[in-house]
């Protein structure tokens, strides 16, 4: 539904402007972007497990993990990756079929590598969620951060509009952030809007993001656990 | 005999903040907070040999659960030293966590949406147990607790007593050397209480784990514990045998600790007055 509305919007924009291209890309490219962007955006977004982690900390259910030989991070990472894997498997048919039907450009040989890259990004995504959820040790209504974070990601990931439509230097700056690997880079790579080198640079940026967020998450979590009272924050 | 739990001057304070009611005061609280410190556990020195079953008794807010949470690594102490099986509990090393178990009677630790058997499979995976062996273990434990028919029902659909039995199985699945039981019979009917008591009695007899058990029911303590620790307002006030204390309470305080509605804080208060006198109330009595 959202993909359909978005595709129609791009068509209307191009028709209204009296052009066949926008930012160097034609209507088929925007159709493919809308179809893949919404699908991949759902795969790389995380609010459900983030909310569950927060709930666990707020209610004291985290106790059941803290006293067992498994880390809270690992426990939820395994569930998150498993869940996203299932979502991906069960719903990838939609963009594949619709792109084939409408003749939207897709480089099929790039699909496996793009999916691998997505799973790599999910590690970063979980680290961000884990950090946000750890705020529940300090604040009662940490859920507000999830909404702010997801709103920001909607823009910075390229789900709202392709990041190459932003003016310079904003465009280069946003694309260099790890969030671009959530939607813009994988979608761009698979529909031919982004080349391999740019996509690979995105993964490098995700790697740096993982390293930075690991330190931040570790700090917030360990300080939180230190002041935790075992009954919920 | 090995000493498995050792504390020296162990204490825990909780810092809370107090604010007046109303929206304006809530706003002011962001910038100017009045904190106060509550001493949940006063300096406690304790030594527990392997295989001993300890009954930890006290009124609500006396510090029982705080002590258990520190010993199991759930919370950090504010000061003093503590060693459990040679580990600092709050470091939560995997080797340590594989040898202990804590059951909090008022908090579910299994997964509510899963049948207990699935939760046990997950626990077997977490503890690195052989699934076949773990399955036979949970089936044996379920038979002894009389709940083998509920193993494949979603946990949220079970009664409180049945859920508690499943929690007990979950906490024993990896055969912990030390078991912390925080009010395992709370809120249960007499029949369920007796089943759990009998089960724990037999389990202790067969496996000889070290247990620290807290309960409001003196029956739990008297049927299981070798040693009684009485705690009042964060302070250990009695360390001795169960028989010693119940006899003393009956004879000198005219209190029957077998009754369910005993106000332990009142008993402790009267005990202290009788035995020590209020001026010396900070000392621990050992018999």
Give the tens place of pLDDT for each residue, B86-143. 999 999 999 999 999 999 877 778 888 899 999 999 999 999 999 999 999 999 999 9
Q: Which two tokens stand for residue A124?
A: 């970063």
Q: How many CB pairs under 8 A join A and B?
A: 45
Instruction: Tell if the CB–CB gap between B97 and A63 is shorter than 8 Å.
Output: no
Given an 8 Å threshold on Cβ–Cβ distance, is B97 in contact with A67?
A: yes
Confidence of residue B285 (pLDDT cuts 50, 70, 90): very low
The answer to whether the beta carbons of residues A56 and A40 sit under 8 Å apart is: no
Integer Cα distance of B39 and B61 in angstroms: 10
Residues of B with CB under 8 A from a CB of A: 14, 65, 69, 72-76, 92, 94, 97-98, 100-102, 104, 107-110, 123, 126-128
- Eight-state DSSP code of residue B87: B
Q: What pLDDT is stored for residue B283 in this prediction? A: 45
The residues near B116 (Cβ < 8 Å, ≥ 6 apart) are B110, B150, B151, B152, B153, B155, B158, B166, B169, B170
Do the Cβ atoms of A63 and B109 come within 8 Å? Answer: yes
Residues of B in contact with A225 (CB under 8 A): 76
- Please give the Cα distance from A77 to A71 (Å, whole number): 10
Quick check: B216 pLDDT over 80? no
- Cα–Cα–Cα angle for B8, B14, B17, rounded to 5 degrees: 160
Question: Which of A156, A66, A140, A23 has the alpha carbon at shortest distance from B126?
Answer: A66
pLDDT band at A189 (very low <50, low <70, confident <90, very high): very high
> At A156, which helix (H) or strand (E)?
helix A143-156
Q: CA of A91 to nearest chain B CA: how many angstroms apart?
A: 25
Whether A177 contacts A146, CB under 8 Å: no
- Out of B14, B72, B101, the one facing A229 most closely (by C-beta) is B14
Q: Which helix (H) or strand (E) holds A68?
A: none
- For residue B73, give how far its alpha carbon lies from the nearest alpha carbon of chain A (Å): 7
Q: Over range A168-192, report the average pLDDT.
A: 92
Name the closest residue on chain A to residue B179, using Cα atoms. A67
Q: Which residue has the higher pLDDT, A167 or A221?
A: A221
Measured CA to CA, the distance from residue B106 to residue B117 in angstroms comes to: 21
Q: Which of A141-155, B112-126, B236-250, B272-286 has the highest mean pLDDT?
A: B112-126
Q: How many CB atoms lie within 10 A of CB B120?
A: 26
In this prediction, residue B190 has a pLDDT band, given cuts at 50, 70 and 90, of confident
Residue B115, beta-bridge partner list: B154
**Overall pTM surpassing 0.90 (yes/no):** no
DSSP B4-61: EEEEEEEEEEEEEEE--SSHHHHHHTTT--EEEEEEEEEEEEEEEETT-EEEEE--TT
Local confidence band at B287 (pLDDT 50, 70, 90 cut-offs): very low
Which one-letter DSSP state was computed for residue B287? -
Check: CB of residue B173 under 8 Å from CB of residue B100.
Answer: no
Run of H or E residues at B100 = strand B100-104
Q: How far is CA B219 from CA A100, A142, B55, in A?
A: 73, 43, 11
Of B14, B72, B126, the CB nearest to A69: B126
Question: At CB < 8 Å, which residues of chain A contact B?
Answer: 60-61, 63-64, 66-70, 225-226, 228-230
Cβ distance A66 to B127 less than 8 Å, yes or no, reads no
Whether residue A68 and residue B127 make contact (CB cut-off 8 A), yes or no, is yes
Per-residue pLDDT, B258: 65
Q: Please, are residues B151 and B182 in contact by the beta-carbon 8 Å criterion?
A: no
Residue B284 has pLDDT above 70, yes or no: no
């Amino acid at each position: 539904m959202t993909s359909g509305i978005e595709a129609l919007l791009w068509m209307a924009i191009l028709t209204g402007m009296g052009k066949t291209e926008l930012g160097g890309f034609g209507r088929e490219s925007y159709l493919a972007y809308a179809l893949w962007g919404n699908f991949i955006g759902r795969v790389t977004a995380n609010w459900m497990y983030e909310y569950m982690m927060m709930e666990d900390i707020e209610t004291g259910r985290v106790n059941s993990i803290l006293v067992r030989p498994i880390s809270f991070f690992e426990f939820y990472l395994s569930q998150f990756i498993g869940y996203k894997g299932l979502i991906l498997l069960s719903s990838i048919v939609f963009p594949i079929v619709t792109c084939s039907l409408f003749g939207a450009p897709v480089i099929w040989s790039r699909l496996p590598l793009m999916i691998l890259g997505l799973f790599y990004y999910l590690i970063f995504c979980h680290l961000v969620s884990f950090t946000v959820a750890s705020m529940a040790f300090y604040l009662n209504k940490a859920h507000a951060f999830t909404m702010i974070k997801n709103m920001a990601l909607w823009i910075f990931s390229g789900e709202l509009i392709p990041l190459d439509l932003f003016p310079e230097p904003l465009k280069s700056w946003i694309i260099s952030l790890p969030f671009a690997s959530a939607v813009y880079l994988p979608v761009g790579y698979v529909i031919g809007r982004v080349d391999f080198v740019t996509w690979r640079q995105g993964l490098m940026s995700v790697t740096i993001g993982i390293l930075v967020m690991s330190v931040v998450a570790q700090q917030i979590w360990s300080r939180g656990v230190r002041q935790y009272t075992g009954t919920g924050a | 005999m090995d000493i498995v739990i050792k504390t020296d001057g162990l204490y825990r304070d909780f810092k809370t903040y107090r604010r007046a009611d109303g929206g304006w005061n809530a706003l002011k609280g962001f910038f100017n907070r009045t904190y106060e410190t509550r001493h949940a556990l006063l300096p406690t020195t304790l030594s527990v040999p392997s295989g001993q079953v300890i009954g930890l008794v006290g009124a609500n807010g006396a510090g029982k659960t705080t002590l258990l949470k520190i010993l199991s690594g759930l919370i950090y102490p504010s000061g003093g030293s503590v060693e459990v099986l040679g580990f600092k509990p709050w470091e939560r090393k995997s080797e340590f966590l594989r040898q202990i178990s804590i059951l909090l009677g008022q908090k579910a630790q299994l997964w509510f949406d899963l049948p207990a058997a699935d939760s046990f499979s997950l626990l077997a995976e977490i503890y690195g147990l052989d699934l076949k062996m773990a399955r036979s273990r949970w089936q044996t434990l379920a038979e002894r607790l009389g709940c083998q028919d509920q193993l494949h029902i979603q946990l949220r659909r079970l009664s409180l007593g049945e859920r508690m039995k499943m929690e007990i199985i979950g906490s024993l699945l990896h055969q912990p050397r030390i078991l912390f039981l925080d009010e395992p019979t709370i809120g249960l009917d007499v029949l369920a209480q007796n089943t759990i008591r009998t089960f724990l009695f037999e389990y202790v007899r067969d496996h000889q784990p070290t247990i620290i058990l807290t309960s409001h029911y003196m029956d739990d303590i008297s049927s299981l514990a070798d040693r009684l620790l009485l705690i009042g307002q964060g302070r250990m006030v009695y360390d001795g045998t169960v028989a010693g204390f119940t006899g003393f309470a009956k004879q000198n305080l005219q209190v029957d600790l077998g009754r369910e509605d005993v106000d332990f804080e009142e008993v402790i208060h009267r005990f202290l007055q009788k035995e020590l006198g209020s001026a010396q109330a900070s000392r621990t009595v050992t018999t």
